A and B are shown apart, each in its own frame.
Chain A
Amino acid sequence: MAIYRSHVLVCGGTGCASSKSDLIKKRFEEKIKEMNLDKEVQVISTGCFGLCEEGPIVVVYPEGSFYSKMQINRVDRIVEEHLYKGRIVREFLYEESIADQKLKSLNQIDFYSKQKRVALRNCGLINPENIEEYIARDGYLALGRALTEMTPEEVIKVVKDSNLRGRGGGGFPTGAKWSFAAPNKADQKYIICNADEGDPGAFMDRSVLEGDPHAVLEAMAIAGYAIGASKGFVYVRAEYPIAVKRLEIAIGQAKTMGLLGKNIFESGFDFDVEIRLGAGAFVCGEETALMASIEGKRGMSRNKPPFPAVSGLFGKPTIINNVETLANIPQIIINGAKWFKSFGSEKSPGTKVFALGGKINNTGLVEIPMGTSLREVIYDIGGGCPNGKAFKAVQTGGPSGGCITADYIDTKIDFDTLTDLGSMMGSGGMIVMDEDNCMVDIARFFLEFTVEESCGKCTPCREGTKRMLEILEDITQGKAVMSDLDKLEKLANNIRSTSLCGLGQTAPNPVLSTLRYFRDEYEAHVLDKRCPAGTCSALLNYSITDNCRGCTKCVRQCPVGCITGKVKELHVIDQEKCIKCGACMEACPFDAIVKK
């Protein structure tokens, strides 16, 4: 194998790829060849580094120099200076990696130093399209040990002892799930990897699949051995083409090396994995709906029991685990349950990956021990809200979760604390909101989402969420009365207790939690017909300030002719006629039109 003195890692995750990191990689290769360094320097495409805000990201080893916001025209200088002469190009480095005139390497930067990487340990470090790099990081060692040194019962026991809980949302203990399926006798059992990551704002599963696909395959095989299944399916969103491609490559490589297929490690154990694509239905993240979809049907959920562990896919015993959950498994087998419990909180051991998004400086993926406080995540790792705005709330758990306000910022995050606050862990999306975000509008946004995504099978979810949305629309348009708030709450509680599946049962959460913490904002909309955050356009009025020079540009733009005024004189908007389209505001060259 050729040995290189320097590695250039270019992020090939979706975030960076969308800002043309592939062209950056190509230019590196060209320039390195031109300078005759191609036998000394290797260019590698990796999975997501996590700090998407600073993308496209390039890291040069052995120094661990972190070049952020890369542009293609910077490549030549980095090759000439850094790779050829050994002079790190300081002005292209990530700002925080220079402190007190000293250069910090990647893992010394605040964003990374607070993290503990288990599920993401290989993301941004190895080439996901090269199985040997995975093996070099002890890949498939866990599977090898399980198959040659452990009984299926022992494997289940380690997972049970680790108290690993499902990272997809509910937090159900993974070991218990496996032990339900193991004793059921059947000619065929199945392992399903749930990669139908539908929560808007969460993208950790995609990053694991893109950055470390073998970890998921290895874990599926281990799960298969534990419960006696010889076939696995990865159900993945069709919106994730890079993840699908890397999975396909990984499956091919694992088969070639005999790490999937027949008689793995000569243990007599067979395991095969097939990819199935979703087609854009959020409800398919629910396990019974997901199985229906793999069977080629409409993705509609059904009653439980029977639980999938008894009668699942094609009527056979089936285990469904989320991507991040699976990515933890090989590490637990290698390092043991005790190791896994050495970090995280007592009832929720281990780490959790969160996708930080919204009004936060360092958007991206972070993996932290459970029990880390919200404050550390938002301020120390996330860098707080941009433009000096005040932090208002953080939304966790997507359409099934709720908001946590600034008052609870010192909460230590785990499955149970979030549920106690009326939110939930969900898959780990964390959307930060500042003072400019209207909480009623956010609740309306999530309800609109659930209404569209309801499969339509049970009445509370199909009809109830629609009625809730109507009330919320009335509130944001200033048409609601106070009794509507009670109606909303009652409806929400009914839907929560009577819906068939998790989608309906959790759909009211965004409304209930905002009603709990931001009732004053609801009341301002209803009573004063006012949106305190300045978001709900129906409640805002456009007006012209003294900055107006009378250029008449707005008059020409207004579609309803509600602006009057002479040339070079202050103009006025007729509030009765105004349709609040905002065309005048865009047209004004003097920023004289305000909405409030």
Chain B
Amino acid sequence: MKSLDELKKIRDEAKKNLELRDSEKTTRVVVGMATCGISAGARPVLQSFIEEVQKRHLNEVQVVQTGCIGMCTYEPIVEITSPDKEKVTYIHMDVDKVKRVVAEHLVHGRAVKEYTIGYIK
């Protein structure tokens, strides 16, 4: 170990993995992962959320999975909750849509209206 900067570099790299165990996060991305969700393609959606969040260093975002959200025809379903804001529900998600949601919703705080349940319905 040569310098404090070298240690900090190792720390920042190692932190990424450990952040998962921090339950103080504010924004939650919840992916429905019941049988219906999985068969509709929820797994790659979940995976790409994790990758995108990681890539963009969105430290306050936590990606979790949940069971059946109850509207199987709209799967894969993703719900995003942030403090002081109404829950946004995205439906029929896929990997390409994830990239846009992360870029617009999670980074800039603007929900992607055309993917939300209210818009499609």
Q: Interface on A for B, CB 8 Å cutoff?
A: 1-7, 9, 40, 61-64, 84-88, 105-107, 125-126, 132-133, 135-141, 144-145, 148-149, 257-259, 264-266
Residue of A nearest to B33 (CB): A86
Cβ-Cβ contact count across A and B, 8 Å cutoff: 107
Indicate if the CB atoms of A135 and B11 lie closer than 8 Å: yes
Check A86–B31 contact: CB distance below 8 A: yes
Q: Are A125 and B21 in contact (CB under 8 A)?
A: yes
How far, in angstroms, from A27 to B13 measured CA to CA in the complex?
29
Is the CB–CB distance between A265 and B4 below 8 Å? yes
Most buried by B among A40, A85, A140: A85
* Distance A265 CA – B7 CA, assembled complex (angstroms): 9
**Given A86-B32, A105-B23, A145-B4, A126 and B18 touching (CB < 8 A)?**
yes
- Give the secondary structure class of A's interface: loop
Residue from B7, B16, B46, B62 in contact with A3 in the complex, judged by beta carbons closer than 8 Å: B16
The B1-50 residues at the A interface (CB cut-off 8 A) are 1-4, 7-8, 10-11, 13-18, 20-21, 23, 25, 31-35, 38, 46-47, 50
Q: Are A40 and B62 in contact, CB atoms less than 8 angstroms apart?
A: no
Q: Which of A7, A85, A135 contacts B10 (CB 8 A)?
A: A135
Smallest CB separation, A545 vs chain B (Å): 55
B20 surroundings in chain A (CB, below 8 A): 4-7, 61-62
Q: Which residues of B contact A141 (CB under 8 A)?
A: 4, 7-8, 11
Chain B contact patch, size range:
35 or more
Contact (Cβ within 8 A) B63 A40:
no
Given A3-B54, A148-B3: 16 more A-B contacts, CB < 8 Å: A1-B14, A3-B16, A3-B51, A61-B20, A61-B23, A64-B21, A85-B35, A85-B38, A85-B67, A136-B14, A138-B11, A141-B4, A144-B1, A144-B3, A259-B1, A265-B2
Distance in angstroms from A107 CB to nearest chain B CB is: 6
Report if B112 contacts A (CB, 8 A): no
Q: List 24 A-B contacts (CB under 8 A).
A: A1-B13, A2-B17, A4-B20, A5-B20, A6-B65, A7-B21, A9-B21, A62-B25, A62-B64, A63-B64, A64-B23, A84-B38, A86-B32, A86-B67, A126-B18, A133-B18, A136-B11, A136-B15, A136-B17, A141-B4, A144-B3, A148-B3, A149-B4, A265-B4
Interface assignment of B73: CB less than 8 Å from any CB of chain A: no
Minimal Cβ-Cβ distance residue in B for A59 = B21
Within 8 A of A (CB), among B71-119: none
Closest CB in chain A relative to B15 CB, distance in Å? 4
Q: Which of A88, A125, A265 contacts B1 (CB 8 A)?
A: A265
In the complex, chain B residues whose CB is within 8 Å of the CB of A144: 1, 3-4, 7
- A149: chain B residues within 8 A (beta carbon): 4
Is B3 a contact partner of A265 (Cβ separation < 8 A)?
yes
